[in-house]
């Protein structure tokens, strides 16, 4: 029997058998996570199952696990459209109360960055450029681009930045569940509130919000345009009464699965020594950042009128998409969380650029 030809998807060739097997591995992990009762099972389970398969160097038809990373670009706008559906006149009136926690990010970002940098230099023995840009608590793509331009070890930089996202999405909801003592969010059966009717007209409006938001967001250079553009357009459409619907829960689950697959395959091709060092360094650095975030959360919760959980999630050094998914799952103020993560990315990039030469010195 002849092996099927590679299929060309999103600019790259993939083995069809390995591709389907990877999706099945991720789906199996998600179903197992759902049965166990983990938070965000479709994201959590897919990351763990595919990540473990990549670490074990599992081969399917002679190929490692594989999945098109760019596939997330077609699903992440769904999250933005969903968050935009949470925009209401009452919420708009609440935004001025957020300024103390947004201002606190000006302190949080340098603290988290310096803590991570010191850790990577002393314990990880990384060179200065790699340690500096790997320690950025936000702006994954920008961190990698700036690191490459300044002579960082791109292999280790990529690993540490992606591990930051992965460990955050595995740690934060699990810690919340342990602290509560009961299942929380999606693990307890919570779902996004179904508003409106997801019929053909509303589906077309939401699709237009996602596409227009993505295109306009990229055009004007919004940070994390994949999600922020659709949030703004969807929010405007909901405020104007054009639609009152949001994507159904199954779409969010599908998006979680795709995001999980794209994160899990990042472990493919890495040595076990690199992974061990990367996990050790990232667990400690994320732990330090979450400790600082918790401190800010306890101090500011009463000031901004949000829960400590919402503040910790808003300051957590994960990605906008991943933290927004967690906020949706845990039924935390998702727009509040997303706004802070966008601000964190901007501050992290500006701080890293402005202080790099002063801290690291010229090579």
pLDDT the model gives residue 345: 84
pLDDT above 60 (res 181): no
Total tally of structural domains belonging to the chain: 1
pLDDT the model gives residue 362: 55
Containing structural domain, residue 340: 73-360
330, 309 Cβ separation under 8 angstroms: yes
pLDDT above 50 (res 187): no
Residue 142: band (very low, low, confident or very high) from pLDDT cuts 50, 70, 90? confident
Residue 5 lies in a domain: no
26-38 mean pLDDT = 90
Location of structure tokens 């061990």: 276
% of the chain with per-residue pLDDT over 90: 29
Residue 39 lies in a domain: no
Q: In DSSP terms, which residues pair with 64 in a beta bridge?
A: 59
Residue 169 lies in a domain: yes
pLDDT the model gives residue 293: 92
Residue 26 lies in a domain: no
pLDDT the model gives residue 146: 86
Residue 99 lies in a domain: yes
Secondary structure class of 297 (helix, strand, coil): helix
Among residues 330, 350, 363, the alpha carbon closest in space to that of 137 is found at 350
pLDDT the model gives residue 130: 92
pTM reported for the whole predicted model: 0.77
- Give the mean pLDDT of the chain: 84
More confidently predicted of 220 and 174: 220
pLDDT the model gives residue 191: 47
Residue 189: band (very low, low, confident or very high) from pLDDT cuts 50, 70, 90? very low
Residue 320: band (very low, low, confident or very high) from pLDDT cuts 50, 70, 90? confident
pLDDT the model gives residue 285: 94
Among residues 3, 94, 100, 96, the alpha carbon closest in space to that of 297 is found at 100
pLDDT the model gives residue 20: 93
pLDDT the model gives residue 188: 42
pLDDT the model gives residue 193: 52
Location of structure tokens 């909801």: 173
% of the chain with per-residue pLDDT over 70: 93
Express each pLDDT in 62-82 by its tens digit: 888 899 988 888 888 998 898
5-21 mean pLDDT = 86
More confidently predicted of 288 and 362: 288
pLDDT the model gives residue 113: 95
Alpha-carbon distance of 5 to 17, in angstroms, equals 10
pLDDT above 70 (res 192): no
pLDDT the model gives residue 1: 52
Alpha-carbon distance of 311 to 342, in angstroms, equals 14
pLDDT the model gives residue 248: 87
Residue 115 lies in a domain: yes
Express each pLDDT in 288-308 by its tens digit: 999 999 999 999 988 888 888
Residue 50 lies in a domain: no
Say how many C-beta atoms besides its own lie within 10 A of residue 265's C-beta. 22
Residue 54 lies in a domain: no
């Amino acid at each position: 029997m002849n092996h099927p030809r590679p299929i060309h998807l999103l600019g790259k060739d993939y083995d069809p058998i390995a591709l389907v097997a990877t999706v099945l591995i991720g789906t199996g992990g998600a179903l197992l996570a759902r049965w166990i009762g983990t938070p965000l099972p479709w994201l959590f389970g897919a990351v763990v199952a595919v990540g473990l398969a990549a670490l074990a160097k599992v081969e399917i038809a002679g190929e490692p696990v594989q999945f098109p990373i760019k596939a997330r670009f077609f699903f992440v706008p769904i999250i933005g459209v969903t968050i935009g559906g949470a925009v209401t006149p009452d919420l708009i009136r609440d935004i001025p109360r957020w300024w103390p926690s947004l201002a606190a990010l000006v302190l949080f970002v340098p603290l988290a960055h310096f803590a991570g940098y010191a850790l990577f230099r002393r314990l990880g023995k990384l060179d200065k450029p790699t340690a500096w840009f790997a320690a950025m608590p936000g702006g994954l793509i920008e961190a990698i681009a700036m690191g490459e331009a300044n002579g960082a070890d791109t292999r280790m930089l990529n690993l540490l930045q992606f591990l930051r996202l992965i460990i955050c999405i595995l740690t934060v909801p699990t810690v919340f569940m342990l602290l509560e003592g009961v299942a929380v969010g999606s693990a307890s059966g919570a779902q996004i509130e179904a508003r409106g009717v997801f019929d053909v007209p509303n589906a077309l409006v939401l699709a237009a919000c996602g596409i227009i938001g993505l295109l306009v967001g990229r055009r004007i250079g919004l940070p994390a345009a994949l999600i922020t553009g659709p949030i703004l357009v969807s929010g405007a459409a909901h405020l104007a009464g054009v639609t009152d619907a949001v994507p159904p829960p199954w779409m969010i689950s599908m998006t979680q699965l795709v995001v999980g697959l794209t994160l899990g395959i990042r472990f493919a091709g890495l040595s076990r020594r690199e992974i061990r060092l990367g996990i050790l360094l990232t667990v400690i650095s994320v732990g330090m950042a979450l400790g600082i975030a918790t401190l800010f959360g306890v101090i500011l919760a009463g000031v901004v009128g949000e829960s400590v959980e919402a503040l910790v999630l808003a300051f957590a050094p994960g990605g906008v998409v991943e933290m927004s998914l967690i906020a949706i799952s845990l039924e935390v103020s998702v727009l509040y969380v997303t706004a802070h993560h966008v601000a964190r990315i901007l501050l992290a990039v500006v701080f890293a650029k402005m202080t790099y030469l002063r801290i690291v010195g010229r090579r």
